[in-house]
Amino acid sequence: MKNKKKCSLKFIFFIEPLSMLTKQSLFCNRSHLKFNFLHMNIKETGWETLLKEEFEKSYFKSIKAQLKESDEKIYPKNDDIFAAFELCPLHKTKVIILGQDPYHKPHEAMGLSFSVPNHVKVPPSLRNIFKEIHTDLNISPSAHGDLRPWAKQGVLLLNSILTVEHKKPASHKKLGWQIFTDTCIELIGQKKKGLVFMLWGNYAKGKAALLNSNDHLILEASHPSPLARGAFFGCKHFSQANRYLRSNGMEEIDWSLPQLQLF
């Protein structure tokens, strides 16, 4: 009996401190990811230097405070909020495709406009984008919707609003993200020349006012959503973009997507 008591005491003594440490560790890691990562993930991409003043402004601090205080489930996950900037460094950026806000269902949003992880069914708007690429460039539609290969070639897949609440589209439209992304569009338009901006739908078209059309190619079309009743088809934005890039001495975008392993 004595041996059993000793064994039991040792077991309790071992588990309790581990549980406390684990809770503290998880709390610290969550806090770190939620706030400090906003700068860390884009530190070596050139974006932090371009946007550093925005990070210190009151509206941006307000965004962080509101995210911290929210009890809602928010997409995308913390370390994907700035994925568009992380995957597409400033010096490589040559095409900008503007979306509105992230997908609002579980496992869909990944911080890139129109893109979904490779195990998620391709959404209707992205499916129509693939159809247009097929018609325009004779590239077979991809079986998956992971657009990271585009981002790594220099396509900035930027949503105007960078976060959203679970199953509540446009729920963060008043959070302040548009101030940040509008400034981003303006600054990149001023810093670089010869960029291609693809603006689909009235919301995105409104961002043309932030740009100098003499310095860039601004392509406008209806939104690829099925709700637009096919008005997006025939815009030929992808071939136009590549011709413009070639004419300005830049490498064109390979709009095909490699077959990825599905999990």
To which residue do tokens 């402004």 refer? 57
How many residues are listed for the chain in this entry?
A: 263
**Could you give the residue ranges of the DSSP H alpha helices within 138-236?**
148-153, 177-191, 201-205
Contact present, 97 and 157 (Cβ < 8 Å): yes
Verify cis geometry, omega within 30 degrees of 0, for the bond prior to 141: no
* Cα angle 181-96-175, degrees, rounded to a multiple of 5: 20
- Which residue, among 88, 95, 80, has the nearest Cα to 162 in the 3D structure? 80
| CB of 96 closer than 8 Å to CB of 198 | yes
Which tokens sit at 195? 């960029």
**Orientation angle between helical segments 237-247 and 124-137, nearest 10 degrees:** 60
CA atoms of 50 and 40, how far apart (whole Å): 14
Which residue has 């400034």 as its token pair?
183
Strands 217-221 and 155-159: unpaired
Q: Are 31 and 67 in contact (CB under 8 A)?
A: no
Determine the Cα angle at 197 with ends 259 and 245, to 5°: 70
Residues taking part in catalysis: 101
